[in-house]
Amino acid sequence: MEICLFFLLHFRRHDLLESGEICSHTLPNPHSHICLDDSLEWASPLPSILPSLPRNLLHETTICRREARPAFPRWVFVLLCRLSYPQPRSLDQKRLDVLTLTPWLAPIVWEGTFNSELLDSAYKPLNLTIGVTAFAIGKYTMFVGRFVESAEKLFMKGYRVNYYIFTNDPQVIPRVQLQPGRSLSIVPIKKYSHWQEISMRRMEAINRHIAEVSHREVNYLFCLDIDMVFHNPWGVETLGEMVAAIHPGYYNVPRSQFPYERRSSSAAFIPDSQGDFYYAGAVFGGLLKQVYEFTRACHMTILADKANGIMAAWQEESHLNKRFFSHKPSKLLSPEYVWDDTKPKPPEVRLIRFSTVNKDYKEIRD
Amino acid sequence: MDIKKVHIVIPIVMAGIIGYFGTEIMDIKKVHILIPIVMAGIIGYLGTKIMDIKEVHILIPIVMAGIIGYLGQVDLDETSLVISRIPHISRPSSQPVRQVDLDETSLVISRQTDLNEAFSVLPRMSYPQPFVDKPQRTDVLLMSPWLAPIMWEGTFNRDILNAQYRQKKFVVGVATFAVKKYVRFIEGFLGSANKFFLSGHRVNFYLFTDHPEKVPSMKLAPEKSLFIIPVQNYSRWQDISMNRMDIISNRIRTHWHYEVDYLYSMDIDVQMFEHIGVEIIDTLVGTISSWQYTKPRDSNSYERRPESRAAIPSGEGDFYYAASFYGGSVSEVYKLTTACFKGVTEDRANGIEAKWHEESHLNKYLLYHKPTRLLSPEYYWDEELPRPQIIRVKRLSSVRKDLEEVRS
């Protein structure tokens, strides 16, 4: 059956070539098959060339004989309607105080660097679904209510969102009223005895969940900590192939002071002289396929350390940092997107979008 | 002594046993396998002096011993593979060590995974740390409002980009046209591109010309190839210019989408002076015009007459893009050239020609299909302009010429 569908797609593409259309099947994402027809009629909606095929099949098949796999695949934003916004000026940098582009040309998203309306008008027609995973185990279930309530108001407003709450105690999860097009599903998970173990098992759980469930349901996935709250809008400017967030505590310190794992026997080891940024373990995400690969790779290094009887300095955050160092993220979120409320707000951080809830660690973690 | 043939087996079997069990019981490294094999070799050699074994036969059991020893080390279970590769066993960590819970862990993860892939892929590189509160350039815009990076000198580290790019094995195509008198620019273009354009990476130069015999023979770097394609010329230079879109579009459909991953269209009457590298590779790339990069949108040279297909209403517009250098993935360039040429054809049917010919159509297209990456005017600088401080590096610039003479 799958082979037949593959050939169908293959021949279909040749038809398209004859008729003068080529699709860019570059991304493992059904919505990459939205193709333009040749006309410059801006008002008509984009026809989807392959509407009826199941998403996971599109995920697997390589259609083009020489499939273009761009180094940093990005969407070409198509504007369907006349939009009025201020002109970008080549000599007019909006943020003079912060780094907005990494040395490998990944944008760093700060307030003032993007135009939400423009991005929304490009993303909304794509009918994306965005997933959010969060782990609420043991006493952490008490954070679910505020997390989801604030997300309903501020996270990806106007888009379809699926919340996946991983918990060992489904009964305790409060039923929060959700906007239309948004859903919450509870994923039962085992509770380990130590909080470090719980924390490090997240990678494996997310990876398994993608393979079993979310690959059918979402295009992008964000993995967030549950003990946090949204204070300001978090929108599609955060979408990217692989997205990491800069840790609020270390964004202006030299790399030798980053709390990377420094023991060379660990798989998460990064020497003093290396490192770009210290990324927060509380926020990461991206295209589903990339998050799958990422969580798999992190879990592998976590297992390697386990076999060696070593646990990294900051649990899976160290492994996350190691992975992001060797496989650089395609987009970075500024500390606006992962803030620590106990810190005073510096002038660079104009807006706090997502930050921690004050809690007593001793009380929650036992 | 009275060593018989059969005694050869003893050290060989010892080698095999030590090889198989040694890694589990003791910390024997692969190299220790050599000891019993060498013993076997010595005995075998002495044996030939005593008996009638040919020397070549000795090789057989030695190779067998080696194979047994090697296979004995490789254990298909993931964790013991790890144990054999990482020599340091449990130096106590500062946190208490957890019990290893390996029962259901590896279900989702494929067993064929090469563990090395999880470790550093990029080669050890030394470069200065990027500091979040220290922007590299404050005098220019580095990102468009739709978060497409703009390439300016000083904002990127080409070593990192090269390391990432090399893993992908892409082929880039460059389409350029040398029609009529423009053949005189071929040598300068190819010579400088050979040195400065994506140096070290595979590039196919596709040179369209009406005088294939006039193309000078040039030695190109091993990863660069030149393809000469004959093409018709037109009496009006504007037509030659605009029909490039059509030719590119057709060629993609018939050939290039099998041959290259990325395609760039460049004018021939240019020379490169500085490296243009993999920072230009992205899905859809436009170059900001060196004449217009300071102008407000309403004074930009967009086509404004509504009768033309290239018309952009006033109050709209991001940047003014130069048609001399654009590109992207093969499929995106196909869409772009097809759409632009369709506009050109419709305009011709309506008896109108856009203000800047196919550049106007390109600008309309790129206004509504936002490029995923922009190149600053460093990447196409018009010779006639004095170079301001902002432009720290002039990578590619047009060649001085008498426009009237060369276009006649």
Which of B78, B79, B147, B391 to mutate against chain A (most A CBs within 10 Å)?
A: B147
B 24-53 residues with CB below 8 A of A?
none
Assess A85–B contact: CB distance below 8 Å, yes or no.
Answer: yes
Inter-chain CB proximity B82 and A107 less than 8 Å: no
Confidence of residue B17 (pLDDT cuts 50, 70, 90): confident
Distance, first Cα to last Cα, chain B:
99
Mean pLDDT of B179-204: 93
| Predicted-complex ipTM score | 0.76
Contact pairs from chain A to chain B, CB under 8 Å: 297
Which amino acid is it at A121?
S
Cβ-contact B264, B357 below 8 angstroms? no
Least confident window among A340-349, B123-132, B178-187, B301-310? B123-132
Mean pLDDT of A97-122: 92
Contacts of B143 (CB under 8 A, 6+ apart): A100, A101, A107, A113, A114, B149, B150
Residue of A nearest to B338 (CA): A38
Give CA–CA dist A5/A3, Å, rounded: 5
What share of chain B in percent tops pLDDT 70?
Answer: 71
Confidence of residue B324 (pLDDT cuts 50, 70, 90): very high
CA distances B377 to A363, B157, B333, B385, B400, Å, are: 58, 19, 20, 11, 17
Residue A291 has pLDDT above 80, yes or no: yes
Mean pLDDT, rounded, of chain B: 79
Q: Which of A237, A241, A317, A336 is catalytic?
A: A317
Assess A172–B contact: CB distance below 8 Å, yes or no.
Answer: no
Least confident window among A62-71, A200-209, B52-61, B221-230? A62-71
A 315-354 residues with CB below 8 A of B?
322-323, 325-328, 331, 334-335, 348
The whole-number pLDDT of residue B89 equals 30
Inter-chain CB proximity A72 and B86 less than 8 Å: no
Confidence of residue A51 (pLDDT cuts 50, 70, 90): very low
Higher-scoring residue by pLDDT: B324, A88: B324
Q: What is the pLDDT of residues B90-118, one digit of tens each?
A: 333 333 333 333 333 333 233 333 333 33
CA angle at B215 for the pair B209 and B220, rounded to the nearest 5°: 115
Assess A8–B contact: CB distance below 8 Å, yes or no.
Answer: no
Confidence of residue A277 (pLDDT cuts 50, 70, 90): very high
Give CA–CA dist B338/B335, Å, rounded: 5
Which of A10, A34, A90 to mutate against chain B (most B CBs within 10 Å)?
A: A90
Inter-chain CB proximity B331 and A311 less than 8 Å: no
Assess B118–A contact: CB distance below 8 Å, yes or no.
Answer: yes
B 217-246 residues with CB below 8 A of A?
none
Choose from A84-88, A209-213, B19-23, B34-38 the range with maximum mean pLDDT: A209-213
CA distances B334 to A39, A221, B252, B257, Å, are: 13, 31, 7, 9
The whole-number pLDDT of residue B21 equals 61
The whole-number pLDDT of residue B368 equals 92
The whole-number pLDDT of residue A71 equals 35
Distance from CA of B108 to the nearest CA of A (A): 6
For residue B139, the chain A residues in CB contact (below 8 A) are: 91, 93
Give CA–CA dist B196/B278, Å, rounded: 11
Cβ-contact A331, A107 below 8 angstroms? yes
The whole-number pLDDT of residue A364 equals 65
Closest listed residue to residue B230, CA positions, set B245, B252, B215: B215
The whole-number pLDDT of residue A199 equals 80
Which of B124, B146, B319 to mutate against chain A (most A CBs within 10 Å)?
A: B146
The whole-number pLDDT of residue B74 equals 42
Assess B369–A contact: CB distance below 8 Å, yes or no.
Answer: yes
Confidence of residue B250 (pLDDT cuts 50, 70, 90): very high
For residue A108, the chain B residues in CB contact (below 8 A) are: 132
Q: What is the pLDDT of residues B105-162, one digit of tens each?
A: 333 233 333 333 333 456 667 888 888 888 888 889 999 999 999 999 999 999 999 9
Assess B370–A contact: CB distance below 8 Å, yes or no.
Answer: yes
Higher-scoring residue by pLDDT: B24, A159: A159
Structure tokens at B255: 């050939």
The whole-number pLDDT of residue B264 equals 96
For residue A70, the chain B residues in CB contact (below 8 A) are: 261-262, 281-283, 329
Give CA–CA dist B143/B134, Å, rounded: 16
Assess A204–B contact: CB distance below 8 Å, yes or no.
Answer: yes
The whole-number pLDDT of residue B223 equals 93
The whole-number pLDDT of residue B40 equals 65
Residue A1 has pLDDT above 50, yes or no: no
Least confident window among A164-178, B109-123, B213-227, B314-328? B109-123
Distance from CA of B386 to the nearest CA of A (A): 17
Helix and strand totals (H; E) in chain A: 9, 11
Residue A231 has pLDDT above 80, yes or no: yes
Q: What is the pLDDT of residues B352-365, one digit of tens each?
A: 998 898 899 999 99
Q: What is the pLDDT of residues B25-74, one digit of tens each?
A: 444 455 565 665 676 667 666 655 655 556 556 566 667 666 655 555 54
- Report the SS3 class of residue A265: coil
Distance, first Cα to last Cα, chain A:
51
Computed from CA positions of residues B91, B92, B97, B99, in that sequence, does the dihedral angle turn out positive or negative? positive
B359 is catalytic: yes
